[in-house]
Structure 1
């Protein structure tokens, strides 16, 4: 629902910008006369007429006269655009309001606001985020990679990680309140067991996302090995850009944290 609301609000923002431009355009026409240009087709030829809104009369315009009324034609176009933009704005505003009012958070909110004594006797129709996150952590245990970790790099949550970049990633997830575990165990479709760098939970969609950091992407053997790993992920339904994201760096180029923050914003917030 939030994804739909986001799309509607983005479209509404776009319409509001266009409406502001349109409103400024209309201020130029405050002193223009109440006349309009009409057209008709006779014997395959388009003809122009000037309609006077005050006298309700119209006169035929010769081809050489039409250019004098270009501003009136533009004004009538701008008026139509303004009217249509206002109509769209009202519809989008109403849809946005209806979506907010139809949010399922109202359902979960009923249970969350109840007295603790009553909660013990109730099975909610929708599991609360807190309960879902707790169960997710039970199913996704971190620290499953048995390969030794060298160095003394620790995340804000105290996890021992393999690189400074992984610490940066973990701390960004923590900063943005994204549930995550470091190096969980994942069994692929072919039976092969891997330990992704991170498993994260999109709480809004209640969907697990895996994140791999490729730290030596400029080394051929490392790149080939991880390309095979990504192919195995895809064979198991873990698709890059959907439920798998990667960050990367090389010996000459560090990780782009702005790209990472963009991924986090677009996927989780």
Structure 2
């Protein structure tokens, strides 16, 4: 395959990685669990159905047991819970039909939908044809390689900076950044250290880490705020978070932040959770 750095990225990016099938599978799983709960509730519900009749002073409730019974037996006030159970049953029966309909539809999608077919077309070409065409989809491996190959100039280090190195042999500024970088490395998350980013204000900043979710191909910035018990540092951190938000980098969406103080060090389990929820 030719170097994807030579591709017109507007064409490459027109087809994002498929997330439809995973979403359909997730929806199918949720509906299946809900259907089981609904059907269990129906099986334990009272026999019959509910009829309501509006009156001048409110509403009256009737219990219908026989199919041909159009009126039903009046439910007295002291037996109001029966009316509630019958109303819930009627609702659950309608929900059951709706769930069955949607589940059947989703099963058809899962059976017929094949997002990998587009990639297979390119894979089936011989090497000569592959050199001649620009595919509409780039594999995760090639996309990641191209992303990681981006050249940039980081901030560098002054002579008095302490030396900290990650498992990947990369120099960082603190022990906490070592922990974050090593976690990213172990989870095989592509990242760039102190990659320059121009904010909406025109200011160039260097987030601690710029990470790539290979599955969705979405970039995240990750800032570690390590001296939050220092008032001036905390104020600057809040301003930085605000500046990022004004430039479209929102905490929890495409911006990850970790914090620590002298008494509350960085939490490795928290880093694991953040990586799993945003980057895996």
Counterpart in 2 of 1:214?
225
Return the alpha-carbon distance in structure 1 between the equivalents of residues 196 and 165 of structure 2. 20
> Is the 1:36–1:73 contact (alpha carbons within 8 Å) kept by the matching residues of 2?
no
Match of 1:18, SS state, is helix
Structure 1 residues 96-107: aligned runs within 5 Å: 98=109, 102=113, 104-107=115-118
Match of 2:143, SS state, is helix
1:43 Cα deviation (Å)? 5.8
Return the alpha-carbon distance in structure 2 between the equivalents of residues 87 and 97 of structure 1. 16
Give the length in aligned residue pairs.
263
Return the alpha-carbon distance in structure 2 between the equivalents of residues 59 and 156 of structure 1. 77
Match of 2:51, SS state, is strand
Q: Classify 1:92/1:3 alpha carbon distance in 2 versus 1 (closer, same or farther; 3 Å).
A: farther
Counterpart in 2 of 1:135?
146
Counterpart in 1 of 2:37?
21
Match of 1:247, SS state, is strand
1:152 Cα deviation (Å)? 4.9
Which of 93-102 and 197-206 deviates more? Answer: 93-102
Structure 1 residues 101-180: aligned runs within 5 Å: 102=113, 104-139=115-150, 141=152, 144-148=154-158, 150-180=161-191
Which of 114-123 and 44-53 deviates more? Answer: 44-53
1:6 Cα deviation (Å)? 5.7
73, 81, 96: which one pairs with 1:85?
Answer: 96
35, 38, 45: which one pairs with 2:51?
Answer: 38
TM-score of the superposed pair, with normalisation by structure 1: 0.76
Deviation digits for residues 142-173 of structure 1 (CA, Å, limit 9, x no counterpart): x7121238445332322122222212212222
Match of 2:132, SS state, is coil
RMSD: 3.6
Counterpart in 2 of 1:53?
66
Structure 2: gaps (5+ residues): 1-16
Structure 1: gaps (5+ residues): none
1:229 Cα deviation (Å)? 3.0
Counterpart in 1 of 2:215?
204
1:107 Cα deviation (Å)? 1.7
Counterpart in 2 of 1:262?
273
> Is the 2:42–2:92 contact (alpha carbons within 8 Å) kept by the matching residues of 1?
no
1:197 Cα deviation (Å)? 0.8
